[in-house]
Amino acid sequence: MHRYFIELAYDGTNYHGWQIQPNGNSVQETLMKALATFLRQPVEVVGAGRTDAGVHARKMVAHFDFPEKLDGATVTDKLNRLLPPDVAVYGVREVQPDAHARFDARSRTYQYYVTTRKDPFGRQYAWRLFHSLDFGRMNEAAATLFDYTDFTSFSKLHTDVKTNNCRILQAHWDPQGEGEWVFTIQADRFLRNMVRAVVGTLVEVGRGKLSVEGFRRVIEAKNRCSAGTSVPGHGLFLVDVEYAADIEKYD
């Protein structure tokens, strides 16, 4: 049995997230249908993580198994012909048979876009704010994330994970252009809804409703009710998933 990694991107606007849903369109199901059409048999696909409804991905990684050796360039081309315009495959490559798209990921990076400007073209890809924010303060608060590992306060309630511990590797706000800012956060793993809850709480800091010390207390409370509300999914992008170099299959 051969295992392959697929690198893909998608606009999440028309999807109920990555994971297959009983009553909604998902990216995972869309990809599996395209693979099954091309390979003429059902194919199970495992993603590096779950993105929620409306969330986009500039780089998602998934794996599938197939009994025969496949040419990555051919699979990439065929899938792109079969997939809708809002899903694109950038590459397919064979990996070690025990390589796992989710469990072997060393880090994931997300970016969240906010804008204070009305933009008819970018409205699906940034959350519009109607008040000014102190991004300096928000960066001060974001820096405190490095001091903690338990992020229960930013996790969706009643999830089935064994631990709420994550190691934060990057967390900062940067200007992107007139009236637009982007929050970049990288960690070894993320909890359900975590990025949107972190951004929502940082916005409270930026509005002056929460101090930097108050942000620390939110983390230390380990209680989702103490954090801010989750921001909308359409401003969020999964932008990178990193693996060890030796995951590749070499003949």
The residues annotated as belonging to the active site are: 52
For residue 168, the cross-strand partners are: 187
For every residue of the chain, which 3-state class applies, written as one string? CEEEEEEEEECHHHCCCCCCECCECCHHHHHHHHHHHHHCCCCCCEECCCCCCCCEEEEEEEEEEECCCCCHHHHHHHHHHHCCCCEEEEEEEEECCCCCCCCCCCEEEEEEEEECCCCCCCCCCCEECCCCCCHHHHHHHHHHHHHCCECHHHCCCCCCCCCCECCEEEEEEEEEECCEEEEEEEECCCCCCHHHHHHHHHHHHHCCCCCHHHHHHHHHHCCHHHCCCCCCHHHEEEEEEECCHHHECCC
d(CA 21, CA 132): 37
d(CA 14, CA 3): 29
